Amino acid sequence: MVDWARARREAIRKQAELRRRLTAAERALDDAQAQVRLAEAAFDTASDRFAEAESALDEARAERARSRQDRYQARQAHERASTAVERLRRRVDELGGRLDRMPPLTPVTPVTPLTPASSPAA
């Protein structure tokens, strides 16, 4: 009978030890679950920030492309205006040289306008 009582006490002791280990494991599981929730929240926050950064980068790239196109158009307009200015300067110089070689205009006597008192019908 002693063996049976000893075996029972040993089983009770092992059961108590297993319950303590189970309690400790459940606490560890709860702690790990809390850490997972914190890690998930941190990941979600980082993921949101990353998505915002990607969106801002995409917007910046689009703005850079628009600015590049605007710069190209402005340079083209500048080139066209510069060419027009050069062409007009040459024409002004040519016309000035031609005018220098022409005789001056003869002075024209101004015509006096007719006033109602000096009109022939009066």
- Res 75: pLDDT: 98
pLDDT tens for residues 93-119? Answer: 999 999 888 888 877 676 777 776 655
Give the Cα separation of 77 and 71 in Å (integer). Answer: 10
- Following DSSP, what letter does each residue of 2-63 receive, concatenated? HHHHHHHHHHHHHHHHHHHHHHHHHHHHHHHHHHHHHHHHHHHHHHHHHHHHHHHHHHHHHH
Tokens encoding 9:
């006490």
The verdict on pTM exceeding 0.85 is: no
Reported confidence tier of residue 1, pLDDT bands at 50, 70, 90? low
Beta carbons of 116 and 122 less than 8 angstroms apart: yes
Give the Cα separation of 97 and 92 in Å (integer). Answer: 9
- From the list 44, 26, 24, 23, the residue with the least C-alpha distance to 34 is 26
